[in-house]
Structure 1
Amino acid sequence: MSIALTGPKLGRMRAALWFTTLLLSTLCADVSAAADVLRIGNGPEPETLDPHRVEGVSAGNIVRDLFEGLTAVGDDGSAIPAAARSWEVSDDGRVYRFHLRDDLRWSNGDTVVAADFVFGLQRSVTPDTGSSFARMFEPVRNAAAIIDGRLPAHRLGVQAVDARTLQVTLDAPTPALPGMLAHPSAFPVHRASLSAHGSGFARPGRLVSNGAYRLAGWVVQSHVELERNPHYRAAAAIPWVRYLVTEDIHAELQRFRAGELDITYEIPPLQAARIRREYPGALRIAPYLGVYYYGLNLTRAPFAGKPALRQALSMVIDRQVLADKVLHGLALPAWSFVPPGMHALEAPRPDWQDWTPTRRQAEALRLYRQAGYGDERPLEVEIRYNTHESHRRVATVVAAMWRQALGVRTRLVNEEFKVFLHKRRLRRETQAFRAAWMADFNDPMSFLGILHSEHGKNDSGWVDAGFDAALMRAAATAEPAVRANLLAAAERRILDDVPVIPLYFYVSKHLVAPRVRGWRDNPLDYHYSKDLALDRAPGDR
Structure 2
Amino acid sequence: MKKLFVLMITILSLSAVLVACNGKDKDSSDKGKEDGNSSSGKAEKQEIVMNAGSEPPAIDPALATDTTSGWVLDHIFEGLYTRDKNGSAVPGLAEKTEISEDGKKYIFTIRDGAKWSDGSPLTANDFEFAWKHVLNPDTGSSFAFYLYYLVGAEEYNKGNAKAEDVGVKALDEKTLEVTLNEPLGYFETLLTMWTFYPVKEELVAGNENWSAEAKTYVSNGPFKMTAWEHDSEVVIEKNNEYYDKDSVNLDKITFKMVGEATTYYQMYKTGELDFIKSLPTDVIESEKDKDDFEIVPYYGTYMYMFNVEKEPFTNEKVRKAFGMSIDREVLTENVTLAGETPAYGMVPVGADSPEGDFRAVGGDYFEENLDKAKKLLAEGMAEEGWTTLPEVTLLYNTDENHKKIAEAVQEMFKKNIGVDIKLANQEWKTYLETTKAHNFQMARMGWIGLFVDPVVNLDYYLGDSPNNRTGWVNEDFDRLMAESKVEQDTAKRYELLHQAEEVLMTDFPMMPIYFYTNTYLMNKNIKDAAKFVNRFPFMKWAEVTEK
TM-score under structure 1 length normalisation: 0.88
Find the counterpart in structure 2 of residue 460 from structure 1. 470
Letter in 1 for 2:422: R
Alignment of 1:474-493 (within 5 A): 474-493=484-503
Which among 394, 415, 422 is matched to residue 405 of structure 2? 394
Deviation at 1:476, TM superposition (A): 1.4
Find the counterpart in structure 1 of residue 429 from structure 2. 418
Find the counterpart in structure 2 of residue 12 from structure 1. none
Which among 289, 295, 300 is matched to residue 310 of structure 2? 300
Find the counterpart in structure 2 of residue 447 from structure 1. 457
How many Å separate the matches in 1 of 2:434 and 2:378? 30
1:466-520, Cα deviation, whole Å (9 max, x unpaired): 0000001111111111111000000011111101111011112211111111123
Deviation at 1:70, TM superposition (A): 1.1
1:350-376, Cα deviation, whole Å (9 max, x unpaired): 4543xxx6xx11111111011116995
Question: Mean alpha-carbon deviation: is it higher for 364-373 or for 374-383?
Answer: 374-383
Which among 280, 285, 288 is matched to residue 276 of structure 1? 288
Find the counterpart in structure 2 of residue 19 from structure 1. none
Q: Would the aligned equivalents of 1:218 and 1:225 in 2 still touch at CA under 8 Å?
A: yes
Letter in 2 for 1:319: R
Alignment of 1:170-189 (within 5 A): 170-189=180-199
Find the counterpart in structure 1 of residue 202 from structure 2. 192
TM-score under structure 2 length normalisation: 0.87
How many Å separate the matches in 2 of 1:295 and 1:513? 36
1:400/1:156 CA distance change after superposition, 3 Å: same
Which among 364, 382, 385 is matched to residue 396 of structure 2? 385
Deviation at 1:312, TM superposition (A): 0.9
Deviation at 1:198, TM superposition (A): 3.4
Equivalent residue of 1:150, what SS? coil
Equivalent residue of 2:95, what SS? strand
Find the counterpart in structure 2 of residue 262 from structure 1. 274
How many Å separate the matches in 2 of 1:520 and 1:284? 13
Which among 124, 127, 135 is matched to residue 114 of structure 1? 124
1:69-110, Cα deviation, whole Å (9 max, x unpaired): 111233444312211134233232222222221111001111
Deviation at 1:34, TM superposition (A): 9.6
Equivalent pairs counted in the alignment come to 496
How many Å separate the matches in 2 of 1:218 and 1:369? 53
How many Å separate the matches in 1 of 2:395 and 2:225? 33
Equivalent residue of 1:336, what SS? coil
How many Å separate the matches in 1 of 2:472 and 2:85? 35
How many Å separate the matches in 1 of 2:200 and 2:440? 37
Letter in 2 for 1:395: A
1:352/1:213 CA distance change after superposition, 3 Å: closer
Letter in 2 for 1:329: A
Letter in 2 for 1:260: E
Equivalent residue of 2:309, what SS? coil
Deviation at 1:379, TM superposition (A): 4.6
Q: Would the aligned equivalents of 2:528 and 2:543 in 1 still touch at CA under 8 Å?
A: yes
1:81/1:508 CA distance change after superposition, 3 Å: farther
Q: Would the aligned equivalents of 2:225 and 2:236 in 1 still touch at CA under 8 Å?
A: yes
How many Å separate the matches in 2 of 1:368 and 1:250? 38
How many Å separate the matches in 2 of 1:322 and 1:107? 46
Find the counterpart in structure 1 of residue 30 from structure 2. none
How many Å separate the matches in 2 of 1:511 and 1:185? 29
Q: Would the aligned equivalents of 2:338 and 2:518 in 1 still touch at CA under 8 Å?
A: no
Letter in 2 for 1:400: E
Q: Would the aligned equivalents of 2:338 and 2:519 in 1 still touch at CA under 8 Å?
A: no
1:328 is the counterpart of 2:340? no
Equivalent residue of 1:301, what SS? coil
How many Å separate the matches in 2 of 1:104 and 1:534? 27
Segments of 4+ in structure 1 off by > 4 A? 373-376
Deviation at 1:453, TM superposition (A): 0.3
Deviation at 1:245, TM superposition (A): 0.4
Find the counterpart in structure 2 of residue 249 from structure 1. 261
Letter in 1 for 2:398: T
Alignment of 1:125-274 (within 5 A): 125-195=135-205, 197-235=207-245, 236-274=248-286
Question: Mean alpha-carbon deviation: is it higher for 244-253 or for 524-533?
Answer: 524-533
Question: Mean alpha-carbon deviation: is it higher for 337-346 or for 48-57?
Answer: 337-346
Find the counterpart in structure 1 of residue 6 from structure 2. none
How many Å separate the matches in 1 of 2:506 and 2:201? 46
Find the counterpart in structure 2 of residue 507 from structure 1. 517
1:405 is the counterpart of 2:419? no
1:365-402, Cα deviation, whole Å (9 max, x unpaired): 11101111699514521100110011111111111111
1:198/1:329 CA distance change after superposition, 3 Å: closer
How many Å separate the matches in 1 of 2:130 and 2:322? 42
How many Å separate the matches in 2 of 1:438 and 1:351? 20
1:75/1:443 CA distance change after superposition, 3 Å: farther
Letter in 1 for 2:441: Q
How many Å separate the matches in 2 of 1:314 and 1:522? 30
Find the counterpart in structure 2 of residue 431 from structure 1. 441
How many Å separate the matches in 2 of 1:212 and 1:75? 14
1:375/1:361 CA distance change after superposition, 3 Å: farther
1:252-277, Cα deviation, whole Å (9 max, x unpaired): 11111111111113211221110113
Deviation at 1:230, TM superposition (A): 2.1
1:315-354, Cα deviation, whole Å (9 max, x unpaired): 112111111111113421111100113151453244543x
Deviation at 1:196, TM superposition (A): 6.5
Find the counterpart in structure 1 of residue 321 from structure 2. 312
Q: Would the aligned equivalents of 2:338 and 2:517 in 1 still touch at CA under 8 Å?
A: no
How many Å separate the matches in 2 of 1:100 and 1:167? 11
Letter in 2 for 1:368: L
Equivalent residue of 1:529, what SS? coil
Q: Would the aligned equivalents of 2:71 and 2:535 in 1 still touch at CA under 8 Å?
A: no
1:39 is the counterpart of 2:49? yes
Q: Would the aligned equivalents of 2:52 and 2:255 in 1 still touch at CA under 8 Å?
A: yes
